[in-house]
Amino acid sequence: MAFTLDGKCALVTGAARGIGREIARQLAQAGARVFATDIDEAALAGTGAIPGVRTLCGDLTAPEFPGRLVEAALTAGGSLDIVVNNAGYTWDNVIQKMSDEQFQAMLDIHLLAPFRVLRAASGWLRETAKREASEGRRVMRKVVNISSISGVDGNAGQAAYASGKAGVIGLTKSLAKEWGRYNVNVNAVAFGLIETRLTQPLGADGAAIEVKGRRIPVGVQPTALEALRAACPLGRLGTPQEAAGAVLFFCSPLSDYVTGEVLVVSGGLHF
């Protein structure tokens, strides 16, 4: 079954690179007008070069930014039909070495930021759905929250990250029940190991992310990475294209009768 997203407006967070950029690309290729955001302005410019994509740089953990983002997306696109909460990063440690700052940072980006984005969008979504119902129309809209197999299964050394990713599943299931009356499908995709800078061998090229003045190394210990690859039934990491394809399903009419679900995209790997 072919489908098109012509006439739809999508908001994608964490879209400067990797999975987020590929989600923006696939949505735009399907016909959607895409509004993409990230904190990394230089990398976000590459996403903005994709036909059909506009961008706004900003910090999703700043209390006022999610509201400004939603307003900008509505102004640019004229509607808000798809929201993909993808922004995130890892900052790992065993619990005895984990600071309050570290734990809170993971909750802020993985759980609080999606909550604020969706709260900011809620008024427009509700009022638009009520107007459409009064006109005898049903228009389905989509929310896709990004989780992880760490949030589904837990993972040693990731108490903070796993807590944020588990929390977003609770948010997903609750909003699915609240927003069904407004014809909004709310689902989550839980990724396993996908080929991004977060899953490259640790220390391979000194990769790190800058967050509020801190330089946080990203990657996985090479021995652990090989063990995880061997434990994966498909024997490999997934690609950003494969990851984005699962998100595209939840953004498409193919999922119009699916809500409150978590799709695990991990090649069969569970921690």
Strand partners, 30: none
Among 89, 161, 182, 257, which one carries the catalytic annotation? 161
**Which strands make up the sheet holding 141-148, listed edge to edge?**
53-57, 33-38, 9-13, 82-85, 141-148, 184-191, 262-265
| 161 counts as catalytic | yes
Strand 184-191 and strand 141-148: the pairing is parallel
Strand 33-38 and strand 53-57: the pairing is parallel
Inter-residue contact 70 to 118 (CB < 8 Å): no
Separation between Cα atoms, residue 164 and residue 268, nearest integer Å: 22
Separation between Cα atoms, residue 171 and residue 190, nearest integer Å: 14
Angle between helices 113-134 and 65-77 (to 10 degrees): 40
What are the helix (H) ranges across the chain? 18-29, 41-48, 65-77, 100-107, 113-134, 149-153, 159-179, 222-231, 240-251
Inter-residue contact 187 to 173 (CB < 8 Å): no
Separation between Cα atoms, residue 22 and residue 11, nearest integer Å: 13
Strand partners, 12: 36, 84
Compute CA 165 distance to the chain's CA centroid, rounded to the nearest angstrom: 10
Distances (CA, A) of 245 to 140, 163, 185, 261, 265: 19, 25, 17, 16, 10
Q: Which residues are catalytic?
A: 161
